[in-house]
Chains A and B, each alone.
Chain A
Amino acid sequence: MKTADMGLWLLAFRLPSAIGLLLAPSFLSLAALAASPDTLFQAGATAYRAADYTQAAEAFRQSVTLQPASGTLQDLGNAEWQRHRTGEAILAWEQALWLDPFNDAARQNLRFARKTAQLEAPELAWYEVISTWLPVNWWAWIAGGSLWLAVGMGALPGLLRRRKATWQQATAALALMVFLLSIPALFGVQTRARIGFALQKDTPLRLTPTLEAQTLTRLAPGDPARWLRSRGRYVLIRTSRAVGWVEQDQLGLTCPKAGKRIG
């Protein structure tokens, strides 16, 4: 059978599925258009300007759920702040900086909110400070890319039976240096992912993970804490004042899925 005949036979046999594959993206795009992150973002901004902050926060939150974005998280923080939900506002601004540390407006809003609400910022170790220099998504690619670039520059000339040029050796050394420097930042991203913020007013910090436990202290909304481990619906956190248990719903993590892996 000739190739052309085989192609026609295949086309006839698989025509329905081929049409389905062609049309599927169209239907998907139509469905997504109804509630795309952009339209939700615009709807939230419109509601915010009309002082309907509840609606604005809802729209921004849905947009973030579909696709996290630094600007959307910044606006979500503004809407939550206008709703007097300090914990949610600070969490949203922290997440905006988590995605884009160059978002100066979110950084200023955080400073403003913490100054206004008399809250402290989370204390970061040196490697965590380094990890805030660039978006968290960059560090993994920088580390992976620089590692394989160094390996490639070191190994490829030998494999290809070519003499190692000076620029290749320099590139390999530079890439290796970048890789080694990015390791602390990668570790900082890992540890920063466990930082959370109290969401509710007067969140009780309990001595044991039980409802009847003694309350050690109460956290203000927006107070930072580090997630240590979880047990049931309680999580063990460390704040600047004490170590204790809170309910999972009362703590919002910068990286929401980090707690599940730790717990």
Chain B
Amino acid sequence: MGADIKKLRSRIKSVDSTLHLTKAMGLVASSKIRRANDAMNKSREYARSVTEAVDMLTSCSECAKSPYMKQSGGDRICLVVVAGDRGLAGGYNANIFRLVREYDASLIIGVGKRACDRFGSKLILAEDFSYDDAMSLSKELCSRFASGEFDKVGIVCTKYVSMMSQEAQIKWILPLVKNENAARQSVVFEPDEMTILNTAIFEYVAATLVGAVRESFASEVAARRFAMDSAGKNAQQMLDDLHLSYNRARQGAITQEITEIVAGSDA
């Protein structure tokens, strides 16, 4: 009986410290949510504007000869995988890695500590991912694609649907695909369509990368807060059950002690 009480007391202590941890991580995630959402919305707007401009360029027949629009039909894939910097975010990292397994990629570049550790690439943190990081990655991807090293370049990232729901997705960035729905109007290009496209491609890939990383980071923070909320609730439930068992065991020990004393005095 005494051993049971001791065991329960140590379990209560351990679950209690877990509860404190989940609460602290939930609070940290909550404080980051607003900043992450702001950054996501700003970069989304920029990425949309750059995409509109690139769509207008790709709809021109002269741009079809650009090396960035070359559809080689091969299967050498390069993937930029955006995962989290930390764990304890529910299925956030697992969903990304499950999606990556569906593709036979010849090169994987990780963004976020978890992805960098898993795929052995240079450490790039998702939280601190800047436009300069995106531009240097964009230049590397574009030059390797133009030299024919890959047939397709994609980003595996997480789509922020709402605070409760995030979906792993793949966005293909290269080769560029002609957008038939792009707004057609007579536009003056200076110096010419192809030169602008070959310059704007770096901005386009960098804007898409920044947009994807910031959206993924907002998803990670939201997923972590949700996961920590559920973990906190479960820990509280477990703590209540353990307290009940502890009190029962303690009461049982007291009753037994009284019974023994009464039996002793009767004898």
> Do A and B truly interact?
no
